[in-house]
Amino acid sequence: AAPSKAELARVPPAIQLPPPPISKFKIALCQLSVTADKERNIAHARKAIEEAAEKGAQLVVLPEIWNSPYSNDSFPVYAEDIDAGGDASPSSSMLSEVACSRRITIVGGSIPERSGDRLYNTCCIFGTDGKLKAKHRKIHLFDIDIPGKITFIESKTLTAGENPTIVDTEVGRIGIGICYDIRFQELAMLYGARGAHLICYPGAFNMTTGPLHWELLQRARAADNQLYVATCSPARDTSAGYTAWGHSTLVGPFGEVLATTEHDEAIVIAEIDYSLLEVRRTNLPLGKQRRGDLYQLVDVQR
């Protein structure tokens, strides 16, 4: 049979949603306070992850840049060689240890990564065996200038990643984006077409765009693609050079806010129920109604 118009809207055609390995589980979003003391940041993150695991979380998400201040001056100083591991990367070593000892999946927020002579803003995903399952390097760098409000040019120090990241874990198929990546709906559409159940975006939105766009973008990505979206921000520190908005949130496949918090340090624990994905997609069959004769999303790497 000839492909339907809906199938043609995704090139190559969308992968059918894989049956998740688990239908219901708890996710924890650890909104951490971050200081200039790296050892303290690592110990503090470990404590939060362990607390989340004790509360029954099977998936723990950390914030963007949780081991270092968020600044171009800090990135080179706090950067780690993740591929070398061990002492060369104390932050990822800690995540690996805790994932294994607690038998949980960790989406490790992001840290500055040194690879050769380049720096990246990188998220490590660890499985329940403590092994590194995937590594996402922020694809879209945060280079903006809103006069009188906020100016930040990540590309002064960081290099953009080259690959979308989707990973099969013990808690489902997860797409990864970091902060500014959430603004590019094509990336989320691509994850949806690759069969993601959930997209995790560690992010540190600022005080200018946070109130306007942070929740809006999460809900849009979730509603457009009929999947779960989880975000995790650092806690707000008004004395820092960069002030984060906070408000770590879990959004369901209908664009509904399921759990969130304010700007102080917090651990948000919520339930994900993947059976809702099928329900929402049956109620609102967008996948069968796309017009591939009029528009297409092309997954270049697939």
Class of domain 23-284: alpha beta
Cβ-count burial of 301 within 10 angstroms (0-12 exposed, 13-18 middle, 19+ buried)?
Answer: exposed
Domain range summary for the chain, segments of one domain joined by +: 23-284
- SS3 state at 168: strand
The per-residue pLDDT for 1 is 83
Closest CA to 69 of 32, 120, 35: 35
Active site residues: 64, 138, 179
pLDDT tens digit at each of 302 positions of the chain? 888 999 999 999 999 999 999 999 999 999 999 999 999 999 999 999 999 999 999 999 999 999 999 999 999 999 999 999 999 999 999 999 999 999 999 999 999 999 999 999 999 999 999 999 999 999 999 999 999 999 999 999 999 999 999 999 999 999 999 999 999 999 999 999 999 999 999 999 999 999 999 999 999 999 999 999 999 999 999 999 999 999 999 999 999 999 999 999 999 999 999 999 999 999 999 999 999 999 999 999 99
Query: Is the model's pTM score more than 0.95?
Result: yes
Say what angle helices 90-102 and 38-54 make with each other, to 10 degrees. 10
**CA gyration radius for the chain?**
18
